[in-house]
């Protein structure tokens, strides 16, 4: 069911000029000898043109409430259908040389990634939207979104390193643009987490340059076969890609490093884990991705001959090794022959990260009869049949772990 559930699952600054025109004063000269003084010509008053007054910018203010999203379907819908969004930016009409813009304040309550999608229909002029971290719109966050006749809708993902109020400013790309009509634009601002507390539902996240790696928490309450499912997406959100990850313990020490959820393993990988806290670690540059996990409690077979349970013909018995169990850890099953006959059994690995397990069959009093270093493979299982008939009596089938951090849930069945 988990497999099916998982599979079902973007102002130009105005200048001022002052023109001053000065008139040159004209003065008349005096005569050398004169009975009366020759009246002098009074200088003409100096005149200047009135300064040109810059037109008042038309800046509209508004508030956008960001939408917290957690699924790929929400991301895809809100990004691609943004033109029909109920949140609208109305670009004011614009005369040449006059700044016309809209500044939308956005309150972001936590560090996260923002997916900003915006656009309209039938654009006849070009616009751009840029996010800023200050009210005066001088400190850019990320790069701008360009909108034009050939790009009606655009989106951008930006890292938000700290909670606070941010400002999305819409401007015309040219100071000389003129339009007598207002331009309505849809806008969706989405908040996506960078780190998750994983659940059974595929949950969206986005990596961030703020972190060298993202730690997604898993809490295991009982010894369980834990299946992790996930994938990343391409930049256009149109295809699933593989997702590289590591598994760590609560102290963030690697248990299983450099693995991948991909088409090859149906975007899943499993582990047998003891109770505790673990992390799925994804590295930077993942982009958009999603993760989920399922924990299914599993049992552990006895570890000594004294406590071993008897295998019954054609009835499966189960055991498991966790990542915390020691290398060469063993679990034991009893085989009782009531008459002389051959021993035949089959075994399979049902889940976990172990590539193989080891097995052997011993007498009650000790000593391996057959299967020294016998192997049960994750891909094709394993098993054996004794050479010839065995004497009546008690025997023990021992299954053992091969590597330190391996884990496996396994099944064995006595065939004869």
Percent of residues, the chain, with pLDDT higher than 70: 87
Q: What is the pLDDT of residue 255?
A: 96
According to CATH, the topology of domain 203-297 is: Jelly Rolls (2.60.120)
* pLDDT at 380 exceeding the cut of 60: yes
166 close to 112: Cβ distance less than 8 angstroms? no
Which one is predicted more confidently, 32 or 345?
345
Which one is predicted more confidently, 121 or 52?
121
Which one is predicted more confidently, 22 or 379?
379
Kindly state the tokens that stand for 62.
């508004």
Cα–Cα distance, 410 to 316 (Å, whole number): 10
Q: What is the pLDDT of residue 63?
A: 97
Q: What is the pLDDT of residue 212?
A: 87
Q: Which of 53-62, 76-85, 189-198, 202-211 has the lowest mean pLDDT?
A: 53-62
Q: What is the pLDDT of residue 1?
A: 60
Q: Which of 108-112, 155-159, 256-260 has the lowest mean pLDDT?
A: 256-260
**What is the pLDDT confidence band of residue 34, given thresholds at 50, 70 and 90?**
very low
Kindly state the tokens that stand for 216.
């997604």
Q: Looking at residues 282-304, what average pLDDT do you find?
A: 93
Q: In what order do the strands lie in the sheet with 164-172?
A: 58-64, 100-108, 164-172, 127-132, 140-147
Among residues 252, 297, 243, the alpha carbon closest in space to that of 278 is found at: 252
Q: Looking at residues 260-271, what average pLDDT do you find?
A: 96
**What is the pLDDT confidence band of residue 7, given thresholds at 50, 70 and 90?**
low
Span(s) in the chain for CATH 2.60.120.380: 58-192, 203-297, 309-414
Which one is predicted more confidently, 225 or 380?
225
CA distances from 245 to 194, 264, 282 (A): 14, 15, 5
Phi-psi sector, 154: left (phi>0), alpha (psi -120 to 50), beta: beta
According to CATH, the topology of domain 58-192 is: Jelly Rolls (2.60.120)
Count of other CB atoms within 10 angstroms of residue 373: 10
**What is the pLDDT confidence band of residue 416, given thresholds at 50, 70 and 90?**
confident
Mean pLDDT of the chain: 87
Q: What is the pLDDT of residue 371?
A: 80
**What is the pLDDT confidence band of residue 48, given thresholds at 50, 70 and 90?**
low
* pLDDT at 23 exceeding the cut of 50: no
Q: What is the pLDDT of residue 149?
A: 83
* pLDDT at 162 exceeding the cut of 60: yes
**What is the pLDDT confidence band of residue 47, given thresholds at 50, 70 and 90?**
low
Q: Looking at residues 332-345, what average pLDDT do you find?
A: 94
Q: What is the pLDDT of residue 46?
A: 52
According to CATH, the topology of domain 309-414 is: Jelly Rolls (2.60.120)
* pLDDT at 179 exceeding the cut of 50: yes
Phi, psi for 263 (deg, rounded to 5): -60, -30
Q: What is the pLDDT of residue 399?
A: 95
Q: What is the pLDDT of residue 365?
A: 82
**What is the pLDDT confidence band of residue 113, given thresholds at 50, 70 and 90?**
very high
- Residues in a beta bridge with 247: 256, 280
The 10s digit of each residue's pLDDT in 52-91 is: 666 788 899 999 999 999 999 999 999 999 999 999 999 9
Angle of CA points 55, 59, 61, to nearest 5°: 160
Q: What is the pLDDT of residue 379?
A: 86
Q: Looking at residues 181-202, what average pLDDT do you find?
A: 96
Cα–Cα distance, 156 to 28 (Å, whole number): 73
* pLDDT at 334 exceeding the cut of 50: yes
286 close to 270: Cβ distance less than 8 angstroms? no
**What is the pLDDT confidence band of residue 5, given thresholds at 50, 70 and 90?**
low
Q: What is the pLDDT of residue 315?
A: 96
């Amino acid at each position: 069911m988990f497999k099916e559930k998982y599979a079902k699952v973007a102002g130009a600054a105005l200048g001022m000029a002052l023109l001053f025109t000065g008139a040159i004063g004209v003065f008349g000269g005096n005569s050398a000898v004169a009975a009366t003084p020759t009246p002098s010509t009074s200088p003409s008053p100096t005149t200047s043109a009135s300064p040109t007054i810059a037109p008042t910018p038309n800046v509209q203010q508004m508030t956008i409430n960001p939408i917290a999203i957690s699924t790929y379907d929400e991301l895809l819908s809100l990004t691609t259908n943004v033109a029909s969004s109920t949140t609208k930016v109305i670009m004011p009409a614009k005369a040449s040389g006059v700044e016309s813009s809209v500044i939308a304040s956005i309150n972001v309550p936590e560090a996260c990634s923002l997916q900003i999608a915006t656009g309209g229909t039938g654009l006849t002029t070009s616009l751009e939207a840029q996010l800023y971290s200050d009210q005066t719109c001088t400190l850019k966050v990320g790069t701008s979104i360009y909108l034009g006749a050939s790009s009606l809708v655009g989106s951008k993902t930006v890292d938000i390193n700290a909670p606070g109020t941010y400002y999305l400013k819409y401007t015309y790309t040219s100071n000389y643009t003129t339009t007598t009509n207002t331009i309505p634009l849809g806008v969706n601002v989405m908040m996506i987490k960078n780190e998750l507390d994983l659940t059974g539902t595929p949950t969206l996240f986005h990596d961030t340059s703020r972190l060298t790696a993202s730690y997604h928490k898993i809490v295991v309450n009982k010894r369980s076969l834990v299946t992790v499912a996930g994938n990343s997406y391409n930049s256009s959100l149109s295809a699933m890609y593989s997702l590289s990850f590591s598994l760590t313990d609560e102290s963030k020490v690697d248990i299983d490093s450099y693995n991948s959820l991909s088409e090859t393993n149906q975007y899943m990988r499993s582990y047998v884990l003891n109770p505790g806290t673990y992390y799925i670690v994804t590295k930077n540059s993942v982009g958009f991705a999603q993760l989920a996990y399922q924990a299914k409690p599993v049992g552990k077979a006895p570890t000594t001959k004294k406590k071993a349970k008897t295998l019954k013909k054609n009835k499966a018995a189960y055991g498991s090794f966790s990542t915390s169990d020691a290398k060469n850890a063993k679990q034991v099953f009893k085989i009782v022959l009531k008459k002389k006959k051959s021993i035949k059994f089959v075994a399979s690995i049902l889940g976990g990260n172990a590539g193989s397990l080891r097995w052997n069959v011993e007498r009650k009093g000790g000593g391996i009869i057959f299967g020294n270093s016998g192997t049960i493979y994750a891909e094709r299982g394993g098993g054996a049949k004794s050479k010839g008939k065995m004497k009546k009596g008690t025997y023990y089938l021992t299954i053992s772990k091969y590597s330190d951090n391996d884990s496996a849930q396994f099944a064995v069945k006595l065939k004869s």
